[in-house]
Each structure stands twice: as structure tokens, then as C-alpha cells.
């Protein structure tokens, strides 16, 4: 009997309908934006444009997925843009210089090894973020703000601010395939999109079907209760920052591979776009609420919006204003949804008590 729901009245039905619309709002926004540009922007629907656009979106989506977990725990990761830059520089360094071990030779790595090393660098930076936040009790905003500067500075130091050009690698060392990460495709779909699919599905799986995912939501919902329920709060927090670092490392690899060069300023302000995508997708900045699928759709809305506006020839200044308005509107609608949802649930519960 516990799952029996009282017969919904007419009022309830319209409420439930409205709730459904609000819940799917990011998806609806995506359809609206897409349809609009399909008519308004020339060549918008061409295959070439679709592929270019999805490549753009993927970069932000990676960061936004990592950011979503961090925000669900009630934190924030401002350092991801800088990690992108630093990881790109690490990849460039490894291809151009290898590692000098001081015996007169240098060790060179093949593409797969380079990827693994770069990913480890990203995870390591995330680990430092996590340790600062948990063990040393630094506020996430401050810890990752500090890391933003440290990582960006390190990236600039690594090349004295210059670009590492021509990352073509050499067949001899097995790293001539580096360009494929960003430029290759499989079954006509870019590798980076396949990677996004894999990371997205993996993240959604972790969020919904593993204890770790549940703990992430629990820590964000109420840290004290979670701790008293036996959740290792520190471990959970460290894990999300490490994952965020992992995502940033992937983006660093993809960008330097696409450009066949790495520039230390790469990734500037990326963190803000990632936060915007997460929020647009329904992630609550106060923690405990958010969905990976929502975040990916949010990233697509932002990406299509900016690319579409470019294709329409709207000025870059207006683009910025429009992006900001969309984000604010998303949060306002989100608040309305929360209110309505609470009311519908209370009605159900009240019907039960009658």
C-alpha cells in the first residue's frame, strides 16, 4: 500500500504536466535553440558544421561533467581551465623534448604513454586540490583559485610563455599519431566525441549505479549526516576533484592535438563555461542536486548558442550578453521548478494522510 498514489485531481494533473515541462526545460531549450539556428543560420545543418560544432561542445562538456560532480558535493573547481593549459604544455614538452634523465639521453614516449602521463598530471593536481580542501580545510573556492594561478603560472614557466609548435612527433618514437586524438575519427565521428560518449556514460553510471555516486549526492546534501551514516566524506571529496582534474587533462590533450601545438594560455576562462553548462543543466550550486545528462545538454545549449550566433554574424559583444541572460533565466526557471515540485510532493503526502 505504501506505493499507492491517491487519485490525482484535475489540479494535480495540470501541476504534474507543468512539472514535467519544467523538468525537461534544458532539453526543450536545446530543441528551441537548434530549430532556431537551423532556419536562421545558413549551412547550420550541414554535416561539416555539425561535426565542428560537436567538437567545440565536447571540450566544454568534458570540463562540465567533472565540474558537475564537484558542484554536487557542494564545492567548486576554478582550476580546470588552468589544468587544461598546463596539461597541454606537458604533452607538448613530452613530444618535443622527451624527459631528460641526466645520463646524456632522453626518454621518448609513444602516444599512449603521453596520454597516460598527461592524465596522471591532471589527476595529481586534482588530488592536491582535494587534499587542500579536506585535510587542510581550505574553502574550495580559495584552494582552486590558488591552483588556477599556480597551474597557469607553471604552464607559462614551462616554455617561457612561448608556444610549443609542430607537435607532429616522429614515427621512430611512436608519437607521430598524437594528432589523431583531436583530428582522427572512427566511423565518421571524431575521436574526441567517442571519448565524450565514454566519459559521459561512465560518469552517469558512477552517479546512478555505484555507492560512490550516492555518496557524492549525500555529501552535498548534508555533510554531517553523511559522515554520521558512515560515508567517508574526505575520500568522496578528494575523488571528485581528482575526476575533475582527469577531465581537464583530457581537454588539454585534445586541444593540443587539434592545434598540433600547445600554448600556455589555452583554457583561459574555461572554468566559467563549465560552471555555466552545469548550472544550465540543473545542477544546484548549493550541492546535492544535479545530473550528468542535464550537464551535457547544458553544454550543447551553450555551444550551439555561441556557434550559431557566430554563423548569424551577431557581434561577439552581444553573444556574451545573450549567454549571460540564458544562464540567469535557467536558474530562475529552476527555482520555479523546485517550488512546484515541493508542492506536488506535499500534496501526495497530504492525500495519504487523509
Partner 1 sequence: METHEIGLTIRDGVKVYPGTIALNHVDFDLHMGAVNVLVGENGAGKSTMMKIVAGVEPLTSGAMELFGKPVRFHNKNQAEAAGIGIVFQELNLFPNLTVAENIFIGREKTRMGIDIDRDYQRAETRKILKRLEHEDIDPDTPLGDLRIGQQQIIEIAKSLAQSARILILDEPTSALSAAEVDILFRVIRDLKADGVGIVYISHRLEELVRIGDYITVLRDGLVTGARSMEGIDVGWIVKNMIGGASKDFPKTEVQAFGAEIFRAEDITLPRMGGGYLVDHISMSVRAGEILGVYGLMGAGRSEFFECVMAQHPSSGGKFFVEGKEVRERSVAGRINRGIALIPENRKQDGLIEILSIRENITLSSLKDFTRIFHMSLAKEARAAAEYVRKLSIKIASLENPVSSLSGGNQQKVVVSKALMTNPKVLLMDEPSRGIDIGAKAEMFRTMRALTAQGLGIIFITSDLEEVMALSDRIIVMADGRISGEFDAGAVTSEDLVAASTPGRTEEKETPLEEAAS
Q: Which of 7, 48, 114, 57 has its CA nearest to residue 280?
A: 57
- Contact status, residue 254 vs residue 262, Cβ threshold 8 Å: no
CB of residue 337 to partner 1, shortest distance in Å: 13
CB of residue 3 to partner 1, shortest distance in Å: 6
Cα–Cα distance for residue pair 74/223, rounded to 1 Å:
9
3-state SS of the chain: helix, strand, coil percent to 5? 70, 5, 25
CB of residue 222 to partner 1, shortest distance in Å: 4
CB of residue 135 to partner 1, shortest distance in Å: 13
When the beta carbons of 99 and 345 are compared against partner 1, the nearer one is 345
Cα–Cα distance for residue pair 53/76, rounded to 1 Å:
27
DSSP 101-124: -SSS-EE---HHHHHHHHHHHHHH
CB of residue 218 to partner 1, shortest distance in Å: 5
- Interface positions with partner 1 (CB under 8 A): 2-3, 5-6, 208-212, 214-215, 217-218, 220-222, 224-232, 288-289, 342, 345-346, 348-349, 351-353
Q: Which residues of 110-148 are buried (b: 16+ CB within 10 A; e: fewer)?
A: ebeebbebbbbbbbebbbbbbbbbbeeebebeebbbbbb
Helices (H) and strands (E) in the chain, counts: 14, 4
When the beta carbons of 6 and 193 are compared against partner 1, the nearer one is 6
When the beta carbons of 217 and 270 are compared against partner 1, the nearer one is 217
DSSP 50-89: HHHHHHHHHHHHHHHHHHHHHHHTT---TTHHHHHHHHHH
When the beta carbons of 172 and 354 are compared against partner 1, the nearer one is 354
CB of residue 288 to partner 1, shortest distance in Å: 4
CB of residue 346 to partner 1, shortest distance in Å: 6
Cα–Cα distance for residue pair 350/352, rounded to 1 Å:
5
CB of residue 130 to partner 1, shortest distance in Å: 18
- Contact status, residue 327 vs residue 306, Cβ threshold 8 Å: no
Q: Which three cell numbers stand for residue 232?
A: 567517508
When the beta carbons of 146 and 221 are compared against partner 1, the nearer one is 221
Cβ-based neighbour number of residue 66 at 10 Å: 32
When the beta carbons of 50 and 346 are compared against partner 1, the nearer one is 346
When the beta carbons of 162 and 209 are compared against partner 1, the nearer one is 209
When the beta carbons of 56 and 289 are compared against partner 1, the nearer one is 289
Amino acid at each position: 500500500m505504501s506505493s499507492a498514489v491517491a487519485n490525482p485531481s484535475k489540479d494535480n494533473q495540470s501541476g504534474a504536466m507543468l512539472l514535467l515541462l519544467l523538468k525537461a526545460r534544458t532539453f526543450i531549450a536545446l530543441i528551441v535553440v537548434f530549430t532556431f539556428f537551423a532556419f536562421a543560420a545558413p549551412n547550420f545543418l550541414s554535416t561539416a558544421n555539425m561535426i565542428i560544432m560537436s567538437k567545440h561542445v565536447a571540450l566544454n562538456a568534458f570540463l562540465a561533467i567533472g565540474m558537475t560532480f564537484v558542484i554536487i558535493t557542494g564545492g567548486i573547481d576554478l582550476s580546470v581551465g588552468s589544468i587544461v593549459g598546463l596539461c597541454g604544455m606537458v604533452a607538448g614538452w613530452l613530444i618535443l623534448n622527451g624527459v631528460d634523465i641526466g645520463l646524456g639521453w632522453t626518454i621518448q614516449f609513444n602516444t599512449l604513454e603521453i596520454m597516460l602521463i598527461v592524465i596522471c598530471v591532471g589527476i595529481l593536481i586534482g588530488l592536491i586540490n582535494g587534499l587542500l580542501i579536506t585535510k587542510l580545510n581550505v574553502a574550495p573556492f580559495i584552494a582552486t583559485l590558488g591552483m588556477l594561478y599556480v597551474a597557469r603560472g607553471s604552464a607559462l614557466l614551462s616554455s617561457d610563455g612561448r608556444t610549443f609548435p609542430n607537435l607532429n612527433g616522429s614515427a621512430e618514437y611512436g608519437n607521430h599519431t598524437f594528432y589523431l586524438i583531436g583530428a582522427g575519427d572512427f566511423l565518421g565521428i571524431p575521436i574526441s566525441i567517442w571519448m565524450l560518449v565514454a566519459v559521459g556514460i561512465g560518469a552517469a553510471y558512477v552517479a546512478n549505479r555505484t555507492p560512490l555516486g550516492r555518496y557524492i549526492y549525500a555529501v552535498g546534501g548534508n555533510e554531517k549526516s553523511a559522515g554520521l551514516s558512515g560515508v567517508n566524506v574526505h575520500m568522496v571529496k578528494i575523488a571528485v576533484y581528482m575526476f575533475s582534474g582527469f577531465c581537464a587533462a583530457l581537454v588539454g590533450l585534445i586541444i593540443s592535438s587539434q592545434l598540433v601545438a600547445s600554448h600556455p594560455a589555452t583554457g583561459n576562462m574555461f572554468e566559467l563555461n563549465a560552471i555555466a553548462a552545469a548550472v544550465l543543466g540543473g545542477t544546484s550550486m548549493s550541492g546535492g542536486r544535479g545530473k550528468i545528462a542535464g550537464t551535457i545538454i547544458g553544454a550543447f545549449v551553450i555551444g550551439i548558442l555561441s556557434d550559431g550566433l557566430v554563423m548569424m554574424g551577431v557581434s561577439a559583444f552581444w553573444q556574451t550578453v545573450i549567454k549571460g541572460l540564458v544562464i540567469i533565466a535557467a536558474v530562475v526557471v529552476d527555482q520555479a521548478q523546485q517550488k512546484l515540485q515541493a508542492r506536488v510532493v506535499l500534496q501526495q503526502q497530504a492525500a495519504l494522510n487523509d
